[in-house]
Amino acid sequence: MTWLVAGGGVILALVAYFLGRHQAGRAKVYQVLASLRGRLTENLAPVLRSTPVDVELSKRFERESLIHVEAFLDEQSLEEMRAEALSVADRAERTFIPLHKKGGTISYERIHYCAPRCLAFYHSKLVQNWVSAVVGEQIGPTADHDQSSLSLLVYSQAGDHINWHYDHNFYKGRHFTVLLSLVNRGRQGGASSSQFCRRTPQGDEVVSTVENNLVVFEGARCLHRATSASDGDLRIQLSMTFGTTPKIGLFKEFIRRIKDTAFYGLRVLWD
């Protein structure tokens, strides 16, 4: 029995040692990404068409916790970001969770290496100030190790969707989700059959995500979903989270990682 307890202790110590080493390695990776970011995004900042923020828009956000605007980017910026999204779409990690979601995702870390214009959009002060004006608080990017801080959501197969959910807030401050629609096409032309919906006291409402639409919402307050794509559809959304602080408590960090397994698999538990 003593040998069994001692053996268990040794195994636990080894697991803790290797996890600690792995975590230190990952911390180094995120430090390197952060140090490279300025160079990767140099001269790639987007040009916005939708500026400055209309006072009515921020009042609407205060009332409804969600707004959307059309034609957010100027045409050239949209074309460049769309081309980038199309060129990397087939590298998306596919996940399927019965009754919850199916689709492809390109994580924040991978975006650093393959989608610099999308990275530049997320880190653009112009974009951050625009979102801050809408939500009424100064916001910034969320944690570097949070793979959902910035991701490309790719619906390219029939049945790709995500069911009703809230974007739970794991951060110490407020937390906002921003979606920029880069590609939204059906086989017969027009938009894909996958629609972004939110639930309101008056009933379910479709929020347009035609190309170049930007949606800003407080996901912890808005129940939302994306309905199923059909065969031949292609829908690519740049999904961003911004917060009033990038800090997360230890327990909530653990829960956040469990949530992210739905998008990136089990590796996010230790990455």
167 versus 211: smaller Cβ distance to Fe ion: 167
Here's the x/- map for Fe ion, 152-181, by CB under 5 A: it reads as: ---------------x--------------
User: In whole angstroms, how close is the CB of 165 to Fe ion at the nearest point?
Assistant: 6
Q: What's the burial of 127, exposed, middle or buried (CB within 10 Å: 0-12/13-18/19+)?
A: buried
- Residues that bind Fe ion (rule: CB under 5 A) add up to a total of 1
Instruction: Work out how close the CB of 224 gets to Fe ion at its nearest, in angstroms, rounded to a whole number.
Output: 6
Q: Which of residues 16-75 bind Fe ion (CB under 5 A)?
A: none
Q: Which is nearer to Fe ion, 37 or 235 (CB)?
A: 235
Dihedral of the alpha carbons of 116, 262, 255, 20, in degrees to the nearest 10? -70
Phi and psi at residue 75, in whole multiples of 5°?
Answer: -60, -40
Task: Using the minimum distance from each CB to Fe ion, give the nearer residue, 167 or 260.
Answer: 167
Q: How far is the CB of 34 from Fe ion (least distance, A)?
A: 25
Name the residue nearer to Fe ion (CB basis): 44 or 122. Answer: 122
Q: How far is the CB of 208 from Fe ion (least distance, A)?
A: 17
| CB 103, min distance to Fe ion, A | 12
CB of 219 to Fe ion, least distance (A): 5
Q: 144 or 167, CB closer to Fe ion?
A: 167
Q: Is there binding between residue 218 and Fe ion (CB under 5 A)? A: no
Binding mask 111-150 for Fe ion (x = CB under 5 A): ----------------------------------------
Nearer to Fe ion, 218 or 233 (CB): 218
Q: Which of 196, 227, 222, 223 is nearest to 210 (CA)?
A: 196
Q: Which three-class secondary structure string do you get for the chain?
A: CHHHHHHHHHHHHHHHHHHHHHHHHHHHHHHHHHHHHHHHCCCCCCCECCCCCCHHHHHHHHHHCEEEECCCECHHHHHHHHHHHHHHHHHCEEEEECCCEEEEEECHHHHHHHCHHHHHHHHCHHHHHHHHHHHCCCCEECCCCCCCCEEEEEECCCCCEEEEECCCCCECCCEEEEEEEEEEECCCCCCCCCCEEEEECCEEEEECCCCCCEEEECCCCCCEEECCCCCCCEEEEEEEEEECCCCECHHHHHHHHHHHHHHHCHHHHCC
Nearer to Fe ion, 130 or 176 (CB): 176
To Fe ion, the closest distance from the beta carbon of 239 in angstroms equals 8
Report which residue's Cβ sits closest to Fe ion: 167
Distance CA 119, CA 26 (A): 20
Instruction: Return the number of the residue (211 or 218) whose C-beta is nearest Fe ion.
Output: 218
- In the complex, least distance from residue 13 CB atom to Fe ion, rounded to whole angstroms: 39
Interface positions with Fe ion (CB under 5 A): 167
